[in-house]
Amino acid sequence: MRHMPSPLRTSRVTAAAILLAATSITLSARQTPQPRAIDDATLLKPAPGDWVNPGRDYAETHHSPLTQIDQSNVSRLAPAWSVEVGSQGKIETTPIVANGVLYGTSTYSVVYAVDARTGALKWRWDPALVKGGIADGAARFCCGPVNRGVAIYKDKVYVGLLDGRLVALNAETGHVAWAVQTTPVGKDYSITGAPRIVKGKVVIGNGGGEYGVRGFLTAYDAETGKQAWRWWVVPGDPAKGLEDRSMEMALKSWKGQWFKYGGGGTPWDGIAYDPDANLVYVGTGNGSPWARDHRSDGTGDNLYLSSIVALNADTGRYVWHYQTTPGDDWDYNAAQQMILTDLTINGKPRKVLLQAPKNGFFYVIDRLSGELLSAQPFTTVTWATHIDMKTGRPVETPEARYGTKAVRLSPSAVGAHHWPPMAMNPATGLVYFPGQDTSMVYQNVEKFDFQEGQWNTGTVRGGAGAAVASAPTPPPMRGFFLAWDPVENKERWRIEFRPSGGALSTSGQLVFVGDSGGTFYALDAATGRTLWQHKLMTGVATPVSYEIDGKQYIAVMSGVAGGKVFAFTLDGK
């Protein structure tokens, strides 16, 4: 068992910072009206000027109804304030804004609260996670010490930590209210995604599929931290019993002794909630190991890997699923963010769920039944020719199941679209997101030996050595940002782009997004034309919009080292 981090604590800051925070609190008390309760009603219908869910609303649209900043005046957008909150790697947070305070996260699960009017730091909480390598006792995680944000409910802010803990902080002071270990101690789970609040419960998933774990989604009482329900993504050892009927259904699609390797399926990010249907939707992760030959004797769909699953919000019980990549062999997980919306398709109103997962197809699914309505490629795809609309299954190419022969396929394991959130504008009806054309050499290792604490993909990772020599020459990798029409099943426009964070849509008919080089853009929502840009720090995360004292702001975090929160407004100083 590896060393666990030191106890939770609020970090010490300089005397100047303490004075600044104290001043901020005093000014807020004079200028801000009585705080509104961030209760279930507020989360169901956020005020136009607030951003109280990771996607602003339960539908995860990442759309702001504010109109003060629009195409006619966006050229006047200028910095209002910035504040350094720190980072030691890539920033992936989407802030929450409520009652004049902006809450966000940095690397290593650090949480900060900033006066959203002035940029004054109110508090900063550091869980003091062990950093460094495995030998130092640091948590193992797939892809950097990232964190995608917090949730807020009543007087608490909630954050998941890299070591698998879920922590509730007092929203005013940053002091710990409660903490619970959501994952087995000593196992290679991690949390990088933002929690969601559903009917007084905090819903959180986990990562770690590459290391050989068994994924699950859990709901905790928001006031006490007591577990309310848990849904496992893949079956465990059948000899030890199965948790529920959904695991009995899934068991038929697995062969061999996958449970010795965990199975995978970790739901590390995408969660949405439909209050009318009382359903929680979760996107699930890839298999562990990646190669199905080693995971499941080369056969079976391996439910519920790389799937979208609907669960009862009260009990966590399975309702329906749609598997985007049956028998996933390529790390084409479906843990990406989803959008819930209503569309008219073939003259019929439908309540739908939209997702663009790593496998390169854009999906439109009936969110009440799980019926597939459309699926079209939005990037170069060579592992499948198309999705059969009668069966809902991909039609795989002959070379897709690569075995021990080196084969180059698109997309790569990085995916055609990864974690950056999509946004949807109800006026244009378009979905906006960054993507990429990628390829990778896939090849099984001859013999798979599971090693705890190591990546266990069962493949020749990265297509090294002989695999590269024998595989076709890779096409050039390129990034893009596109607008997709989910009714017509096609893209409306596309621009060259270096993907970094996700998108923000506004009713000013603007789309805000930043690239990996640090440029922050405002685009025409209808055409993609650049209307404004501003240079920030390398690696722009996902922006949000909010309003205070009748003034609209755009806020975003940027920076790989010494990350900052930047806020913009018209004629800012």
165-170: strand order across its sheet: 151-153, 156-160, 165-170, 176-181
pLDDT computed for residue 21 by the predictor: 33
Q: Model pTM?
A: 0.92
Instruction: Kindly tell me the burial class for residue 449, based on how many C-beta atoms sit within 10 Å of its own C-beta (0-12, 13-18, 19 or more).
Output: exposed
The pLDDT-based confidence of 470 (bands split at 50, 70, 90) is low
Q: Residue-wise over 379-407: b if at least 16 C-beta within 10 A, else e?
A: bebbbbeebeeeebbbeeeeebbbeeebb
- Report DSSP letters for 220-241, one per residue: EETTT--EEEEEESS---GGG-
Residue 24: is its pLDDT beyond 50? no
Distance (Å, whole) CA 432 – CA 420: 11
Residue 75: is its pLDDT beyond 50? yes
- pLDDT, tens digit (0-9, with 9 covering 90-100), for 162-200: 999 999 999 999 999 999 999 998 889 999 999 999 999
Its sign, for the CA torsion 549, 554, 556, 562, is negative
pLDDT computed for residue 471 by the predictor: 54
- Report DSSP letters for 245-296, one per residue: HHHHHHHTT--TTGGGG-EE----S-EEEETTTTEEEEE---EESS-HHHHS
Residue 79: is its pLDDT beyond 80? yes
pLDDT computed for residue 536 by the predictor: 97
Structural domains of the chain, with CATH: 1-53+93-194 (2.40.10.480), 62-88+483-573 (2.40.128), 215-397+414-418 (2.40.128.630)
Residue 135: is its pLDDT beyond 50? no
pLDDT computed for residue 14 by the predictor: 31
Name which of 15-19, 153-157, 387-391, 546-550 the model is least confident about: 15-19
Catalogue the active-site residues. 331
pLDDT computed for residue 96 by the predictor: 98
Residue 5: is its pLDDT beyond 60? no
To the nearest whole number, what is the mean pLDDT of the chain? 91
Distance (Å, whole) CA 207 – CA 48: 33
| Mean pLDDT in residue range 81-91 | 93
Residue with tokens 């609190």: 25
Residue with tokens 């390529």: 330
Residues 520, 521, 526, CA angle at the centre, nearest 5°? 160
pLDDT computed for residue 468 by the predictor: 53
